[in-house]
Chain A
Amino acid sequence: MKSERVAAIVGVAESDLGETPGKTVLQLQAQAAKAALEDAGLTKDDVDAVFTAGNWAWSPPMMLAEYLGIRPRFTDGTNIGGSSFEAHVGHAVAGLRAGLFDVALVTYGSTQRSDRSRRRPPASPQLTAQFELPYGLPTPVGAYALAAMRHMHQYGTTSEQLAEIAVATRKWAMLNEKAMMREPITIEDVLRSRWIAEPLHLLDCCLVTDGGGAVVIASARKAPLAAKRPVWVLGHGETHTHNTIVNMPDLTVTGARESGRRAFEMAGVTHDELDVVEIYDSFTITVLLTLEALGFCKPGEGGAFVSGQRTAPGGDFPMNTNGGGLSYCHPGMYGIFLLIEAVRQLRGECGPRQVPGARLALVHGTGGVLSSTATVILGRD
């Protein structure tokens, strides 16, 4: 850990999760924001920067800040999908380094699951989407299926290997009382669940839930005033390589190769120093591709890497310790929950699922259709 101390995460919280009928995205974010500020021992009036991502308003940051009664001096509404919040952390570090604000509030909220009863109008095939939408690829799962099929062709990766990830993640969820899916599953269960888009089965896919989260990031000056031990942002990196899946340069290599490399370099840490990793698991294949692109194993070796329940509780590679998007919650853009779990692990607050003595964590978000990636490395003193 050689990097300088510029910014620390000092507060984290979820809102109600799962199914929240009648709640709005603003209510969920207000609930999470209040709890995260209480966790930090700070107040709303300490917040001078607002970060959020969503498509529920013309300007989500303006609507949210108004609702919460905050007049920020810095705003970032960057939306690059599920990795937005890891990107927000990086942007917050830049703003803090420049001395533009002291306390950033990052929020997310979604009522995706409850909204399902209302029919969404189909997306309009305009601009570059007109070359894809007419073919009926279900989004996002179809795009991830295309990547999985290519990886299987190129490297011999199997459905059993992908299922290892779903099974191990479910074991973590069984240790998390907030997780939606807590019944044990087997590799056979995954393989026998119905096809969604070959080669992905139902149990290769994340949940569809409601939920919100909030993260409070403070300057090095303000962090010591917080109620709990600061969790320092040691490194970060981000990129996006394409928008639609056809334009992904190589279906087996994600932008994690770039965002991860930059995060590791900035943090001055190596892979084997990490105690816990939280990797966006929209689908099992997302995790496998990310592990390879981050350099935990070589290209094509992801299947072998996750075999033998290596990422499960008790395995030598603790990953997605809250039960992940696959089994805990997944309200559309899941990235903020990766940060929340990593911070709790580094504080030692995770009870039965605590990774003993965790000091260094890697958080990696993926957004769109493997389009954007953002990596954050966190550590405690």
Chain B
Amino acid sequence: MPNPWPKPEVDGDSRPFWEGLHQGELRIQRCEDCGRHIFYPRSICPHCFSDRVRWVLATGRGRIYSYTVVHRAQGPFAEEAPYVVAIVELEEGVRMMSRIVGPREEVAIEKPVRVVFTRVDDELILPFFEVLKEG
């Protein structure tokens, strides 16, 4: 039996994020006071310490800030390797960890990407990204 994909333990900070994925929405937060975007979600703004944070929709576009091709993976991921894990910087200025799907040779730092909502098993949808054709 294959190892199960690690399931996020949904909590009071993260519920809207995980629920949004099931509706094809990439939800992040924005601080009502300083105006900056926030990811991962939390109850207080790490920039100005305001507790007036609200959920907003991200455009789902960004660029690759860095990436690695994982060759030696652990646990449930062992049989998937090699695969690309990246830090994506969204247009809103926040970064998130993700996977880059699609042809390996297109993956490079600074390449524009867009979100692809990817069902990885019966329960879990993850926001992966694909490289956008430029021009």
Q: What residues of chain A lie closer than 8 Å to B39, measured between beta carbons? A: 131
Which A residues contact B (CB, under 8 angstroms)? 122-128, 130-138, 141-142, 145-147, 149-150, 153, 194-200, 244-247, 251
Using known A-B contacts A135-B98, A245-B87, A246-B87, determine if residue A146 contacts B68 with beta carbons closer than 8 Å.
Answer: yes
Q: Which chain B residues border A123 with CB–CB below 8 Å?
A: 6
Residue from A124, A137, A150, A251 within 8 A of B9 (CB atoms): A124
**CB-CB under 8 A for A136 and B80, given A125-B6, A125-B8, A130-B14:** yes
Q: Are B66 and A147 in contact (CB under 8 A)?
A: yes
A196 touches B72 (CB 8 A): yes
Contacts of A199 in B (CB 8 A): 68
Shortest Cβ distance from B40 into A: residue: A131
Contact of B126 among A134, A197, A246 (CB under 8 A): A134
Q: B69 on the interface (CB 8 Å rule)?
A: yes
Q: Is the CB of A198 within 8 A of B68?
A: yes
A122 near B6 with CB under 8 A, answer: yes
Query: In the complex, A170→B95 CA distance in Å?
Result: 37
Q: A125-B9, A149-B66, A149-B109 are in contact. Are A135 and B71 (CB under 8 A)?
A: no
CB pair A130 B8 closer than 8 Å: yes
**Contact pick for B11, options A126, A150, A153, A244, CB 8 Å:** A126
For B72, give the chain A residue with the smallest CB separation.
Answer: A196
Inter-chain pairs besides A136-B73, A197-B68, A245-B97, 17 sampled, C-beta below 8 Å: A122-B74, A123-B6, A126-B9, A130-B10, A132-B97, A135-B85, A135-B97, A136-B70, A138-B70, A141-B72, A142-B70, A149-B66, A149-B67, A194-B72, A197-B69, A200-B68, A251-B66
Q: B1-44, CB under 8 A of A: which get 1 and which 0?
A: 00101111111001000000000000000000000000110000
- Nearest CB in chain B to that of A199: its residue: B68
Cβ of B75 < 8 Å from any Cβ of A?
yes
User: Closest 3 interchain pairs by CB?
Assistant: A130-B8, A136-B77, A145-B68
CA distance A196 to B9 in the complex (A): 28
| A142 surroundings in chain B (CB, below 8 A) | 68, 70, 85
A-B contact pairs, 8 of them (CB 8 A): A130-B8, A131-B8, A133-B6, A138-B72, A138-B77, A146-B67, A146-B68, A146-B86
**B9 cross-chain contacts in A, Cβ below 8 A:** 124-127, 130
Q: Which one, A131, A141, A149, contacts B97 given CB within 8 A? A: A131
Chain B contacts for A150, CB-based, 8 A: 65-66, 109
Residues on A with beta carbons closer than 8 Å to the beta carbon of B120? 134
Q: How far is the CA of A247 from the CA of B8 in the complex (A)?
A: 18
B96 contacts partner chain A, Cβ-Cβ < 8 Å: yes
Q: Which residues of B contact A122 (CB under 8 A)?
A: 3, 6, 74-76
Contact partners of B71 in chain A: CB under 8 A: 194-198
Q: Find out whether the CB atom of A197 lies under 8 angstroms from the CB atom of B75.
A: no
CB neighbors of A among B70-121 (8 A) = 70-77, 80, 82-83, 85-87, 95-99, 109-110, 120
